[in-house]
Amino acid sequence: MKRRIIAALLATTMAVALTVGCDIKDIGKVVSEKTEKKEDTSAKITIGFSQVGVESDWRLANTDSMKTTFSEENGYKLIVKNAGQKQENQVAAIREFIEEKVDYIVLAPVTEDGWDVVLKEAKDAGIPVIVVDRMVDVSDDSLYTAWIGSDFEMESEKVCAWLKAYADAKGMKEINIAHIQGTEGASAQIGRTDGLETAAKEYGWNIVATQTGEFTKNKGRDAMEAMLKAKSNINVVYCENDNEAAGAIEAIEAAGKTVGPDGDILVLSFDATNDGLKNVLSGKIACDAECNPLHGPRVEDVIKKLEKKEKVDQILYVEEEMFAYDDTVTSVKIGEQEYKVTPVTERVIDERAY
Which one, 242 or 300, has the nearer CB to ligand AHR? 242
Window 257-276: contact mask with ligand AHR (x via CB under 6 A): -------------xx-----
SS (H, E, C) the chain: CHHHHHHHHHHHHHHHHHHHCCCHHHHHHHHHHHHHHHHHHHCCEEEEEEECCCCCHHHHHHHHHHHHHCCCCCCEEEEEEECCCCHHHHHHHHHHHHHCCCCEEEECCCCCCCCHHHHHHHHHCCCCEEEECCCCCCCCHHHCCEEEECCHHHHHHHHHHHHHHHHHHHCCCCCEEEEEECCCCCHHHHHHHHHHHHHHHHHCCEEEEEEECCCCHHHHHHHHHHHHHHCCCCCEEEECCHHHHHHHHHHHHHCCCCECCCCCEEEEEEECCHHHHHHHHCCCCCEEEECCCCCHHHHHHHHHHHHCCCCCCCEEECCCCEEECCCCCCEEEECCEEEEEEECCHHHHHCCCC
Q: How far is the CB of 6 from ligand AHR (least distance, A)?
A: 38
Q: Is 133 in the site for ligand AHR (CB under 6 A)?
A: yes
Q: How many CA atoms lie within 13 A of 212 on its CB side?
A: 9
Site string for ligand AHR, 173-202 (x = CB under 6 A): -------------x-x--------------
Q: Which of 12, 50, 51, 56 binds ligand AHR (CB under 6 A)?
A: 56
**Given 34, 49, 50, 58, the residue binding ligand AHR (CB under 6 A):** 58
CB of 16 or CB of 186, closer to ligand AHR: 186
> Shortest gap between Cβ of 287 and ligand AHR (angstroms)?
15
**Closest distance between ligand AHR and the C-beta of residue 184, in Å?**
13
Q: How far apart are CA 319 and CA 341, in angstroms?
A: 14
Stretch that binds ligand AHR, among 25-33, 41-49, 52-60, 172-180 (CB under 6 A): 52-60
| Residue number, 103 or 155, with CB nearest to ligand AHR | 155
**Contact region with ligand AHR (CB under 6 A), list: 50-58, 92-100, 160-168, 205-213:** 50-58
18 burial (CB, 10 Å; 0-12 / 13-18 / 19+) is exposed
Which of 44, 49, 55, 325 is in the footprint of ligand AHR by CB under 6 A?
Answer: 55
**What is d(CA 302, CA 147) in angstroms, rounded to the nearest whole number?**
10
Cβ proximity to ligand AHR: between 56 and 235 the closer is: 56
- Tell me if 241 contacts ligand AHR by CB under 6 A: yes
Q: Does 325 bind ligand AHR (CB under 6 A)?
A: no
Q: Is 215 in the site for ligand AHR (CB under 6 A)?
A: yes
Q: Is 144 in the site for ligand AHR (CB under 6 A)?
A: no
Interface with ligand AHR (CB under 6 A), residue from 134, 158, 179, 298? 134
Range in contact with ligand AHR (rule: CB under 6 A) among 54-62, 161-169, 225-233, 257-265: 54-62
Asked if residue 59 binds ligand AHR (CB under 6 A), the reply is: yes
Give the residues lining the site for ligand AHR (CB under 6 A).
55-56, 58-59, 133-134, 186, 188, 215, 241, 270-271, 291
